[in-house]
Amino acid sequence: MCRVPPVSVLPSSYTVAVERHLTGAGIAKSSVWIYRISLMTWGWMLAGEPAPTGPARRGAKPPVFPVTAIDDPALPEELAELAAARADEMDANTDDRELSIARKAIA
């Protein structure tokens, strides 16, 4: 059984925060893979780097950065711009799925 650190213990990086979320999210193992790819893609965007697309997404690891970076007050606007630009690169179903996964993780 995998132990999830208490919420009061701040994850050391965005990647660690994603893994913690996936461990405690109560989603099917088959969905964890898809969620991980999507949330790691957001990690690239959060780091200000272009996210890989297509098959290259599956094995790509986002840059390591502190999870506190997601507290930046300008982040929602920046992510909206990044998501809009990225929407032009992918089909509507993928875009909708990634936005849905991000909403669930934020909630």
Q: What is the pLDDT of residues 56-73, one digit of tens each?
A: 877 777 888 888 877 888
Residue 23: how many CB atoms within 10 A of its CB? 13
Q: Could you tell me the pLDDT band of residue 1, with boundaries at 50, 70 and 90?
A: very low
CA distances (Å), origin 2, targets 11, 22, 43: 16, 12, 24
**Residue 4: pLDDT over 60:** no
C-alpha 99 chain-centroid distance: 10
Contact 26, 7 (CB under 8 A): no
Q: What is the pTM of this model?
A: 0.72
pLDDT tens digits, 81-103? 877 887 777 788 887 888 888 77
Residue 12: how many CB atoms within 10 A of its CB? 11
Residue 88: what are its φ and ψ, rounded to 5°? Answer: -70, -20
- Mean pLDDT, the chain, rounded, equals 80
pLDDT (0 to 100) of residue 32: 92
Q: Please, which residues have CB within 8 angstroms of residue 48's CB and are 6 or more apart in sequence?
A: none
Residue 6: how many CB atoms within 10 A of its CB? 6
